[in-house]
Each structure stands twice: as structure tokens, then as C-alpha cells.
Amino acid sequence: MSESELPEVENEKRLVIAISGASGSLYALHLIQALNRIRGTTQLIVSPSAIRVFRQEMEANVSSASDLLGWIQERSPAPGIHQFEIQNFADIGARAASGSSHHDGMAIVPCSMKTLASIAHGMSGNLIERAADVTLKERGRLVVVPRETPYSLIHLRNMTSLTEAGAIVLPASPGFYHRPASFDDLGRFIAGRVLSALGVRLELIPPWDGDS
């Protein structure tokens, strides 16, 4: 990618991106591929269940977070300019676990009902949950992309709690009005919305310009 093709992004972003074990590995793939296009650094946290779901949905022979990142990068259209730092899911003492480690936003894509429930109840049993808890307590930007259907009252209450605590609940519900032609279009739709919620301006799907 030449310098002139790089999109306009005001500042380098320092993000925390987590992948948990809900269906929707495709969304995480497109988010990471899109981040490759911007300058900045991402602390990447992947749960063991996310690796299992990724193997199932993407037919990817991966068994660790670094395998998963490598698999995605091998399928990325251009060499990335973004730095990814893999953080150990079990390491509740990693950088993202501390309130002193400032970042520009955290997203959990996709977010399982288990991780969502833990965060909604202030449980910090692993690095994803702890980093989310810290993001909320520091009044940072937290975006969760839940995937389940139908929702139980418990799921809905947990989403309400997170919204009340300042998180953005961004369901994995791609729109169809832009006439997606592929799964990848659906993946880009959600990845684009997540980036927008994180304050990253990157056009993955052309913006809706009225229906004329």
C-alpha cells in the first residue's frame, strides 16, 4: 500500500481488541484486516473459546492467538502498517489490566454472552474481562458486539447494565440495505461500525446516501 493510498486518520490509535467465543469470527477477521490500514497499535486478546469457534467457522487450522493472527494476516490484501501485540488471555497482570495503561478504546468482537455477563457483573476472571472492567472504570470507550439469538431476559439485562455503565452495545446485526454480495460484505459492515464506534474513520462500506 503506497503512502498516497493510506486513509486519513488524525492520530495513531492505541486500541485493545478482544475476540471471544461467540459465533462471528468473520467480524474479527475484517476488523483486524481493516486495522492493518491505519497507523497505531492494538493489544490483541483472544479467548480459548474464540480459537475453537474460529477453527469451526473459518476452517482454520489454528491453535493459539498468534496462529490466528498469522492466519488472518496471510489472507490480508496488503502488508499492514498497524502493530499487533498479542496479550495472554490468562495474564490478568498484562498491560491492559491496569488503569494506568491508557488506550483510545476497546472492542470485543464478537462478544459471547458469558464474557458480556462477566463484564456486566464486574467479574474479571481473565484479561478480556479485566481490560473491559478497567476501561469502564476509567471512563474509556468500550464496544461490545454480542451474538446470540434469541436473547433471554438475562442477556438483555446484562446489555442494559453495560449500556448504563457507558459501554456501546453494537449487536452483530449487519444491515442488508447496501445489498451485500458476500459474507465478506457482511463482515465489513460490522467491522466498519465497530471502527466508527471506536472513533476510527475508515470507510469499509460506502455510507448510505439516501435511497434515490
Ligand X SMILES: Cc1cc2nc3c(=O)[nH]c(=O)nc-3n(C[C@H](O)[C@H](O)[C@H](O)COP(=O)(O)O)c2cc1C
- Residues lying near ligand X in the complex (CB under 6 A): 20-23, 47, 49-50, 52-53, 56, 112-115, 147-148
Nearer Cβ to ligand X, position 44 or 200?
44
- In the bound complex, what is the minimum distance in angstroms from residue 121's beta carbon to ligand X? 13
- In the bound complex, what is the minimum distance in angstroms from residue 190's beta carbon to ligand X? 14
- In the bound complex, what is the minimum distance in angstroms from residue 111's beta carbon to ligand X? 7
- In the bound complex, what is the minimum distance in angstroms from residue 163's beta carbon to ligand X? 18
Nearer Cβ to ligand X, position 11 or 56?
56
Nearer Cβ to ligand X, position 53 or 68?
53
Residue of this chain nearest to ligand X (CB atom):
21
Nearer Cβ to ligand X, position 20 or 36?
20
Question: What does the alpha-carbon distance between residue 37 and residue 7 come to, in Å, rounded to a whole number?
Answer: 7
Pairing assessment for the beta strands 168-169 and 142-146 based on DSSP bridges: parallel
The number of CA neighbours under 13 Å toward the Cβ of 22 is: 23
Nearer Cβ to ligand X, position 50 or 191?
50
Question: What does the alpha-carbon distance between residue 33 and residue 191 come to, in Å, rounded to a whole number?
Answer: 9
Residue 198 cell numbers, joined: 471506536
- In the bound complex, what is the minimum distance in angstroms from residue 120's beta carbon to ligand X? 13
Beta carbons of 57 and 25 less than 8 angstroms apart: yes
Distances in whole angstroms, Cα of residue 153 to Cα of each of 4, 19, 107, 150, 164: 49, 24, 23, 10, 16
